[in-house]
Structure 1
Amino acid sequence: MGISVAVAGASGYAGGELLRLLAGHPDFEVVAATAHGNAGQPVTDIHPQLVSYRDLVFTGTSAAVLADADLIFLALPHGASAALVAQLPSQSKVLDLGADFRLADAGAWQRYYGGAHAGTWTYGLPELPGQRAAIAASDRVANTGCYAVSVITALAPLIAAGVVEADDVVVVAASGTSGAGRSAKLALLGSEVMADLSAYKVGAHQHVPEMLQATGARTLSMTPLLAPMARGILSTVTARPSSTGLGVEQVREVLRQAYDGEPFVHLLPADRQPHTAATLGSNSVQLQAAVDLDSGRVIITSALDNLGKGAAGQAIQNANLMLGLDETAGLSANGVAP
């Protein structure tokens, strides 16, 4: 028997992707998959693509069902994890894919999410300086937000290196519909989304405080867009250079040094732009740099799979570290095409 894992919220898109990745993991064995509204149904009724789980049935979500697993994944709506965690044994290893424990600032939580702040866990982005060791030493880890990964990987090294200013960052990012979850919503119907591109939560997206916290940026304006695709995020991150005459090769060198040897963050050749389709099914982030000819602003474009590096893939990567396994186990840097 392998390392036992349980997935709470396994009927959602992120939960289903977790199950898919766990099915191919050499060390993990799924012992429980919980779902509130779908309890009692076979996993394949909700996720027909997951044929290896044909004998697994969703159970109700409770601490008793989850507590005996060596590691517990929580793929629950924002605000739902804290109450469940309070019922789990203190020694349980838990990885939360929701937002409940990401933020250090209680005021930022109340401003963007509302309600009481549940606390702060180790932030689950291994590519940030010092975080890989911190994750490996932790029993409680807060997975990153999907938009946040795309922006933090693009921006954090540049602010740390002092090549861009921290107080004038602008982000425009487009996400596929799976980022909004699986609950039925009128705005996510196929007839509403197809052949359309629309902005939402303009100037008030909940991932902004997470981006500020992890990048060192002081101000950041974000415009998120809903794109007519199921999965993927493409972000354009622009910032004012800290000195005049900054060249694109200087920017690329900062990114190259930051991610040299990283298995899942890739700076593309200078003549190639990131594509969401190239990251589908993978745990990869693709990055590219430019300097605007007119304004001189630094532009970083990034692409990832919001259900991969933006959610389930990132969670597997963090779980590997928490349990002393090869960080890349059960994960691929290669996307699926066409």
Structure 2
Amino acid sequence: MTFSVAVAGASGYGGGELLRLLAVHPEFEVRTVTAHSQAGQRLRDVHPHLASYGDLVLEKTEAESLRGHDVVFLALPHGHSGALTEELPEGTLVVDAAADHRLEREADWTDYYPGEWAGSWTYGMPELVLADGGKQRRNLEAARRIAVPGCNVTAVTLALAPLVRAGLIGSEGISTVLAVGPSGAGKKASVGMLASELIGNLVPYNAFGGHRHNPEIRQNLRNASGRDVRLSFTPVLVPASRGILATCTGQLAEGATLERVREAYEEAYGDETFIELLEDGRYPRTSDVAGSNRTQIAFGIDERAGRLIAISALDNLGKGTAGAAVQSANISLGLEETISLPINGVAP
């Protein structure tokens, strides 16, 4: 069976990466692409690298353009998905890459986002370990409304969730610092994203607890451990178009050993196609996962500080956004989870 697909917000970085992955998907046929200001232009004029789409033209992002498809991917700015989705049939699989439906608690939304809370959808992180011993993958089966995680959230959650579930780090004093490529901010024009501002520069942003991914990370770690956690989350823009390198640390729990840590990770991810646990002495590198749906994780114990350190690397547009969307859609539709999702990166 071939599923008809529409991609809304196709002119942006996230939408473009979605289309790159969908171009080789044997079960999906992209029939409609939409945009806002660039509606009416050829997709290839906006994304010259997407040669296989020929003369496909961007339509206006309206419910009328999206109806009639089996699957609709939304790669829109935050706050634009809720009203649009209400006009789509319940049987349509809608996969939203924005934040509109990620948060389970209305208080978390109002604390970090403007506008009304649109409610929560099934969370699109299949590998997320849950406090009852299961994984989020089971909740995605046959789901018709899926919220794709934030890219920073994925990097931190995958690094820390097995540790908090196993009680190997405390719930207080968790610290995360992320080196982040600017493509995660989208394609909109911004002085802070100009090459002259970024090249040769490292720039923290939304620090001091202000980043919107903060409550989403806490939500995931709560679901993984069954208890609330507190963490510090500081992202830093780096002059690399793609990639996230997350360094996460937590207070080592009494009795925790490196052997127990490895066992916790192996139990969580030993059978996961898209999560690579590195051998001792190796560190994650964003260049190794660029263009892939793979996440690398390394871990160790700082005995002098009494802290456990986990480092993860992923492609923010790949596993951090578009890859997670396609992976979750595959599961929802009962397809092989790995279809069209590359394990190999690109180099140099």
Normalized against structure 2, the TM-score is what?
0.95
**1:270-304: CA deviations, max 9, x gaps?**
11100000000000110000111321100000000
Q: Does 1:201 align with 2:245?
A: no
Q: Percent identity?
A: 50
Q: What is the match of residue 240 of structure 2?
A: 229
Residue 252 of structure 1 corresponds to 262
Can you give the 5+ residue segments of structure 1 that lack an aligned partner in the other structure? none
Counterpart AA for 2:327: Q
CA–CA separation in structure 1 for the residues paired with 2:306 and 2:289? 29
Residue type of the alignment partner of 1:67: R
What is residue 299 of structure 1 aligned with on the other side?
A: 309
Q: How much has 1:91 moved relative to structure 2? A: 2.1
**Aligned residue for 2:230?**
219
Amino acid of the structure 1 residue aligned with 2:142: A
Moved more, 248-257 or 30-39: 248-257
Q: Which residue of 2 aligns with 1:130?
A: 135
- Distance (Å, rounded) in 2 between the aligned partners of 1:53 and 1:256: 41
- Report what 1:285 is aligned to: 295
Question: 1:142 is matched by which residue type in structure 2?
Answer: A
Aligned ranges for residues 67-106 of structure 1 at < 5 Å?
67-106=67-106
- The answer to whether 1:330 aligns with 2:325 is no
Code of the residue aligned with 1:97 in structure 2: it is: A
Tell me by how many angstroms 1:127 deviates: 0.5
Over 4 Å off, 4+ runs? none
Q: Distance in 1 between matches of 2:211 and 2:263?
A: 31
Aligned to 2:64: 64
Counterpart Cα distance in 2 of 1:322 and 1:9:
22
CA distance in 1, matches of 2:106, 2:23: 37
Unaligned runs of at least 5 residues, structure 2: 129-133, 223-227
The yes-or-no answer on 1:167 pairing with 2:177 is no
Letter in 1 for 2:68: D
Aligned to 1:177: 182
The range that moved more, 80-89 or 69-78, is 80-89
Task: Give SS of 1:165's match.
Answer: coil
2:330 pairs with one of 316, 320, 323:
320
TM-score of the superposed pair, with normalisation by structure 1 = 0.98
Q: What letter is aligned with 1:277?
A: S
Does the residue aligned with 2:153 lie in a helix, a strand or coil? helix
Secondary structure of residue in 2 paired with 1:288:
strand
Distance in 2 between the 1:250 and 1:276 partners?
27
Distance, in Å, in 2 between the alignment partners of 1:140 and 1:307 is: 21
* Cα deviation digits, residues 240-270 of structure 1 (max 9, x gap): 11215x3323212211111011000110111
Cα offset, 1:188, TM superposition: 0.5
CA distance in 2, matches of 1:241, 1:269: 20
State the SS of the aligned residue for 1:172: strand
Q: Considering only aligned residues, what root-mean-square deviation do their CA atoms show, in Å?
A: 1.0
Give, in angstroms, the shift of residue 88 of structure 1: 1.3
Deviation at 1:148, TM superposition (A): 0.5
Aligned residues: 337
